[in-house]
A = this chain, B = another copy of it.
């Protein structure tokens, strides 16, 4: 089980002596806790009768307005009426799957892709077809070919799930030039684009790109998923879907059936934070902190990785995607890495087709820079030792390489 493997790994990686480059937890201790404390206290005093009561399945209206302001930063013009607030964007993903997918349906995703999305689609008994990426994100021609192949096989997919910006796990961003082509390929094939964009506002260098949803020829070509987990706090579980009216109506009914409503308390806490605090300055502070960590990781990779290891250089988000020298297996190597007090997520979890053994996801969001350097140094030693073993004993049994950036 992919999910249970990840959990077991996180349990070991949580030991204090291990440098975990595994988790994708934002560094919430950078938040101004006194301010957040005052915001929630004030909320209960002034709006307690609403915040503590049942709420509507679509979500608090004033928060849906604020969410439209947030999305405007990435070029999206949206109406609060088309927003559904969910229990993190994970719930939006689950509800979209619940609405669209029948057992045996196919969902198209990038390769590699977000591990929990794989699990969610699998929970609805959907099959996954991967499309390769390169340094500019998913390859439109490859996407077109996969869609055509699936259609020819009688498996025309309903959804293309994509994390176009600072992708999890690959750390690459779909280039501005490719975005209209990806939209066009999907529109022609009648495939809905499911754009998952939790990291878009966490850019550390380069030019901002507009969300796919911002330039969709028609609003009903894209369902957009957003989240406050990386720009504010995941513990509040506030995310959202922006969807065309027909999908939105189904999402509201599905949300009601699943949880009645997302917590009015946490929704109003986020709304009050957005309306009373300098949240864009906070995001700027997050950016500076994560940029420093990203730089620490890239510098350390350059300093400590043996020849033959390659990696992506993300312009934002939380993740670097590393590729091992020929014949090494990131999953088989993990116990030795943990013994050397460093943890990562092996690439296999991010593929639905058994690929990814040559890859690993390295997170730079949570440990401070000096710990990142130390972790990468330890990892470099482990890989060097594995390479030596490979040269002496031959390639690890079962190790293979898969396509990917």
Interface size bracket, A side = 35 or more
> Which one, B36, B40, B90, B263, contacts A260 given CB within 8 A?
B90
Asked if B48 and A258 make an inter-chain contact with CB atoms under 8 angstroms apart, the answer reads no
A sample of 20 inter-chain contacts (CB < 8 A) reads A3-B257, A28-B52, A29-B48, A29-B49, A31-B52, A33-B44, A33-B48, A36-B44, A36-B52, A37-B41, A37-B42, A40-B40, A53-B235, A54-B229, A87-B87, A233-B265, A236-B263, A237-B259, A237-B265, A263-B263
* Complex A-B, nearest 5 residue pairs according to Cβ-Cβ distance, in ascending order: A41-B41, A52-B233, A37-B44, A52-B235, A33-B48
Residues on B with beta carbons closer than 8 Å to the beta carbon of A262: 87, 237
Q: How far is the CA of A128 from the CA of B10 in the complex (A)?
A: 42
Verify if A310 is at the interface (C-beta below 8 Å from B): no
Stretch at the interface among A116-124, A151-159, A218-226, A387-395: A116-124
- Cβ of A164 within 8 Å of any chain B Cβ, yes or no, is no
Are A236 and B265 interface neighbours, CB within 8 A? Answer: yes
Query: CA–CA, A119 to B253, complex, Å?
Result: 10
Say yes or no: is A205 at the interface (Cβ < 8 Å to chain B): no
CB neighbors of B among A139-165 (8 A): none
Residue of B nearest to A30 (CB): B49
Majority SS of interface residues in chain A? helix
7 further contact pairs, Cβ within 8 A, besides A40-B44, A263-B263: A36-B52, A41-B41, A52-B235, A53-B235, A88-B260, A90-B260, A94-B259
Chain A 45-93 residues near chain B, CB threshold 8 A:
45, 48-55, 87-88, 90-91
Contacts of A49 in B (CB 8 A): 28-29, 33
Q: Copy number of this protein in the oligomer?
A: 2
Q: Is the CB of A123 within 8 A of B254?
A: yes
Q: Which of A's residues lie within 8 Å of B, judged by CB? A: 3, 25-26, 28-29, 31, 33-34, 36-38, 40-42, 44-45, 48-55, 87-88, 90-91, 94, 116, 119-120, 123, 229, 233-237, 253-254, 256-266
- In Å, the complex CA distance between A177 and B349 comes to 53
A234 to B265, CA, bound (A): 9
CB neighbours (8 Å) of A261 from chain B are 237
The docked-state distance in angstroms from the alpha carbon of A94 to that of B233 is 26
Residues of B within 8 A of A91 (CB): 258-259
- Choose among A26, A91, A265 the residue with the greatest number of B CB atoms under 10 Å from its CB: A265
Chain B residue nearest in CB terms to A41: B41
Measured in the bound complex, the distance between the Cα atoms of B52 and A25 in whole Å is: 11
A264 shortest CB reach to chain B, Å = 4
Q: Are A235 and B258 touching (Cβ within 8 A)?
A: no
Nearest CB of chain B from residue A109's CB, rounded to whole Å: 16
Closest to A238 in B: B263
Structural contact, A53 and B259, CB atoms closer than 8 A: no
Q: Is the CB of A54 within 8 A of B25?
A: yes
